[in-house]
Homo-oligomer: A and B are copies of this chain.
Amino acid sequence: MDLSSLIGMLLGIIGLVTGLLVGGADILIYADLSSVFITIFGSFGALMITHPLQRILMMPQLIGIIYRGRKYEEEKLIAHLVSFSEKARRDGLLALEDDLDAIEDPFFRKGIQLVVDGTDPEIIKMILYTELNKIEERHEGNYLMFDDWGKTAPAFGMIGTLTGLIAMMRRMEDKLAIGRGMAQALLTTLYGAVLAYLFLIPFKRKLEMKSNAETLVKEILIEGVLSIQAGDNPRILEEKLYTFLPPSRRESLRDEMTKT
C-alpha cells in the first residue's frame, strides 16, 4: 500500500467535509444529478475523443498503481547486478545463462539474455534504450490522460455553470428562486474543481513520479548489464550504481551487499 496517497486522499476528503460541517452547511445540498451528467460525463466524453479506448479502459488499473506500494527495490537490484558481475568475471559470460530463469523483471532478463547470446554491445545498448524510451512514452500517454481530464473537468464545470446561469436569468421574477438557481449553477463548477484538484491532477503527478522511479531502475539495469558485458571490475560497478541512490539508502545497500 502507498500509505501517503491513501492518507492524502482521506485527509483531503475529511478536510473538505469537516470544513463544511464546521461552517454549518448541510452536506446533502451538494448532491446533484444534473451536475454529474454535465461535468463528469461531459468531460469524460471529451477525454474519450482524445485517448484510445484501450487506454481509457486501463484507468482503474492505473488508479490501482497509484495506491499500490513501490515494487522496485533498487538495493536488491544493485546487489544482484554486482553478484552477476562477479560471476561473469569468474566463470565467463555464458555462466549467467543458468540464472536467467530466476530473474523476474523481463527487462533485466532480456538484457542478460542479449549478453549471453553474445550480441554486440552497441546493439544491446540501442535495444535497451529504445525499450526504455518506449516504456516512458507509454507511461507519459497514461498520465497525460489524467492531465487532460484534469484540465477538461473544470472547463465542463464552467460550461454547466453558464448553462445554469442562463436558464436562471430568464426567470428572474422570483428573488428566492434566483438564489437557488445560482446555487444549482455553481454546483457544476464545484464538481469540476473537486474532480480535478483532489483527484485527477494529484493522480497525474503521482503516476509521473512512479514512472520516473521506474526509469531510474531501468537506468541502473542498463548501466549494470553493459558493465557486466564489458567485464568491468565489480567494485567499480558497485561504486557507479551506488550513486543512483540517495545517501540515506546507501546504508541499506551496504547491508544488502554483505548478505549476498
Contacts and interface: CB of A to CB of B under 8 A. Distances in A.
Nearest to A141: B209
A166 B167 CA distance: 17
Given A29-B166, A166-B30, A197-B152, A127 B239 contact: yes
A103 interface: no
A179 B170 contact: yes
A123 B21 CA distance: 61
Nearest to A154: B155
A60 interface: no
Tell me how many chains of this kind the complex includes: 5
B172 A49 contact: no
Contacts of A247: 106
A239 B117 CA distance: 12
Interface in A21-37: 22-26, 29-30, 33-37
18 contacts: A7-B45, A7-B53, A11-B48, A12-B44, A18-B41, A19-B42, A19-B163, A20-B167, A25-B167, A43-B197, A123-B236, A134-B243, A155-B193, A155-B197, A156-B197, A165-B183, A169-B179, A169-B186
Given A15-B45, A19-B38, A49-B205, 14 more contacts: A4-B56, A8-B44, A8-B47, A9-B45, A12-B48, A14-B45, A16-B163, A23-B163, A127-B240, A130-B243, A159-B190, A159-B194, A165-B186, A166-B186
Interface of A: 3-5, 7-16, 18-20, 22-26, 29-30, 33-53, 56, 66, 106, 114, 119, 123, 126-127, 130-131, 134, 138, 141, 148, 152, 155-156, 158-160, 162-173, 175-176, 178-180, 182-184, 186-190, 193-194, 196-198, 201-203, 205-206, 209, 236, 239-240, 243-247
